[in-house]
Amino acid sequence: MTYEQLLAHMRAKLQHIAPDFEIEYKAKIAHEINQLKQERNAVILGHNYMEPALFHSVPDYTGDSLELSRRAAQTDADIIIFCGVEFMAETAKILNPNKTVLIPSQKAGCSLAASITAADVRQLKAQFPGVPVVTYINTYADVKAETDICCTSGNARAVVESLQADTIIFLPDEYLARNVAMETGKHIIFPTKNGKKADTTLDVQMIGWHGRCEVHEKFTVADIQAVRHDHPGTLILAHPECSPEVVAASDFSGSTTALIRFVEQTDASSYLLLTECAMGDNIMAANPEKEMLRLCSVRCPHMNQIRLEDTRNALRYTQYEVHVPEEIRVRALRSVERMLAIG
């Protein structure tokens, strides 16, 4: 694509949400990235939360964690640039040990991934011997290495049901676990919540952890009620990292891609998006006739580290390379591949 074609494409997508001088500035960087990408045989994977100018310009593939893991498993590029957070880039490295995997910022963590260690998982396994462990993909490689199977927000229920186990350990997101427990009709306990020990002799079908997403935990039922009052007819969309109360008060809950598809496939004129605010910009850019209400005072500080400028530097200077020790990688790979094998 020439610079002029790229600028025209970005103008078409971004004209309702950014001034033209900003689009031109971003298009110049995006063009340079696309040239470097070709020269270096690189592929760019972009999470749905990326800023609109990035999301609508340089990624070869965009999507939720599950879709991008599948793309990472299939690529034949030499370099994978992951425009997302560290656990996502790590998953790409787990699947591609012989490729160079780069993340454009070293500050793109995740409060869920930081909420649990491999030692925590080993302790739970000792406490509940033989109980299969499902971990959310929002964890680091050493945690994945201790677990039986991964899941994402897009397939959590399918993964849990695939195990056909009476009891499972589901880590580390308390709210996703509660939402999946609700969907699958399982009784859930949290053995170490707030330092207190729960009674684990009861009929327990799911054992959770106390991790939370620092973004989604902030949305409340009161936010939903206020929007329903002020904007009647608005459909409320919540990511399953929101509390079960928020999910129950919403009209639809699903992975980031499921939320995008819901907007595309329904004909309401207004939606409230209870997830990272940038995704609302991306949806509005693609669906200018729809109004996306967002609570942008709540942002993911990690996803917002990744901009076009950082992505260009990643390609220019081959930074920042993701490494996973081989002994951990091979064990983590089993739990990622088991997940990918589920449709």
- Minimum distance from residue 326 beta carbon to ligand SF4 (Å): 26
Tell me if residue 6 falls in helix, strand or coil.
helix
Nearest approach in angstroms of CB 300 to ligand SF4 is 3
* One of 241, 310, 311, 335 touching ligand SF4 (CB under 6 A): 241
User: How many residues at the interface with ligand SF4, by CB under 6 A?
Assistant: 13
Residues that bind ligand 13P (CB under 6 A): 48, 64-65, 138, 152-154, 213, 239, 241, 255-256
Q: Which is nearer to ligand SF4, 77 or 242 (CB)?
A: 242
- Name which of residues 72 to 91 contact ligand SF4 (CB under 6 A): 85
Binds 214: which of ligand 13P, ligand SF4, none (CB < 5-8 Å by kind): ligand SF4
Contacted by 31, from ligand SF4, ligand 13P, none: CB < 5 to 8 Å by type: none
Binding to ligand SF4, residues 126-165 (CB under 6 A): 138
CB 47 to ligand 13P: min, Å: 6
Least CB distance from residue 109 to ligand SF4, whole Å?
8
Candidates 17-25, 192-200, 300-308, 310-318; binding stretch for ligand SF4 (CB under 6 A): 300-308
**Binders in 264-293 for ligand SF4, by CB under 6 A:** 276
- 3-state SS class at 252: strand
* 48 binds ligand SF4 per the rule CB under 6 A: no
Secondary structure (3-state) at 101: strand
| Residues in touch with ligand SF4 (CB under 6 A) | 85, 110-112, 138, 213-215, 241, 276, 300, 302-303
